[in-house]
Amino acid sequence: MGKNSASTIPFYTFLSISSILFASHFHAYEAQTNVPIVKGLSYSFFSKTCPNLETIVRTQLQKVFKQDNGQAPGLLRIFFHDCFVQGCDGSVLLDGSPGERDQPANGGMRTEALQTIDNIRALVHKECGRIVSCADITVLAGRDAVFLSGGPDYPVPLGRKDGLSFNTKGTSNLPSPFNTTTVTLNTFAPKNLDVTDVVALSGAHTFGRAHCGTFFNRLSPVVDPTMDKTLAKNLKSTCPNANSGNVANLDIRTPTVFDNKYYLDLMNKQGLFTSDQDLINDKRTKGLVNDFAVNQNLFFEKFVDAFLKVSQLDVLTGNQGEIRAKCNVVNSKKSVLEDLVEEGMRLINQF
């Protein structure tokens, strides 16, 4: 897929953005949270063993986004699609025949963003040894994709291990752009994500683009009456049919910035997906849409809470899983032995 490829699924579905404004251009919002930490994770997990971890990740992503800003929503999508299927274990990163990435729900996943995760893994392992998982790097990359696009800055607990398998069937449970609010809420409920989490996570559609097929149902055979007429006219011009390879911005106001303008879109009938626009039509979610539209800090606060909840879904810790030598394949016996030798040499060199 090219740099402007887009996906067929929400938040869940960010594919590319035309440009990005780095966090230094914004007033940084540092979020506070009371979300509990699951056993085995810690905010200081690598403070002694890999103290420069987060600096390495953020510095590399600044370079990446300067060259290919479409990776920001792509990385956030990878984070969500990893965690939502069988927990934050890096399973979506694994190659398969087929694997999770080959399923319809993961259509259009940015190959460049996947490579960026493994490139960061290589930098981190060179600096610290093979002690940081691809799952942790995926979470950090998702967090920094938000921050470097103008969103909140916030710590994330670390210490995840990489899984040894993937789950293709689990991808059928990912949220769909065609869902009503009732279906969307029912999709998130098994993950213990409530209505506030759903509306906040939907706000990730404040940047990125999507293919025509993800919203053409609102244009044909008749225009969805809940869609702004001018927007519908413009989208029809962009998308002559559902199979068109063209893309449209998820947020027509500030499509490259992580802010609260997505909610203003919904208030003005300018949401792109059925799952987006229906949030303003459902009494369970309408109030939250209105609140987030007028209070960006409140949106940021609730988004951070929801992100942290997602980032801790069914994590592997301690003796579970492994630390992959490459993010797209599980370790071989040889790589495990090499890891032990490498770690032994590192310990010897410390004396």
Domains of the chain, earliest start first: 23-174+313-349 (1.10.520.10), 181-309 (1.10.420.10)
From the CA atom positions of the chain, what is the Rg in Å? 20
**Local confidence pLDDT in tens for the 351 residues of the chain:** 333 433 344 443 333 333 333 333 444 566 677 899 999 999 999 999 999 999 999 999 999 999 999 899 999 999 999 999 999 999 999 998 898 887 877 776 889 999 999 999 999 999 999 999 999 999 999 999 999 999 999 999 999 999 999 988 888 889 999 999 999 999 999 999 999 999 999 999 999 999 999 999 999 999 999 999 999 999 999 999 999 999 999 999 999 999 999 999 999 999 999 999 999 999 999 999 999 999 999 999 999 999 999 999 999 999 999 999 999 999 997 655 566 566 565 555 555
Flag whether 102 is marked binding: no
Flag whether 25 is marked binding: no
Flag whether 100 is marked binding: yes
Distance CA 69, CA 50 (A): 27
Q: Which residues are 249's β-sheet partners?
A: 209
Q: What is the set of active-site residues? A: 81
Backbone angles phi, psi at 23, to 5 degrees: -60, -25
Are 307 and 297 spatial neighbours (Cβ–Cβ below 8 Å)?
no
Flag whether 82 is marked binding: yes
> 158 in helix, strand or coil?
strand
The pTM assigned to this predicted structure is 0.87
Type of residue at 43: Y
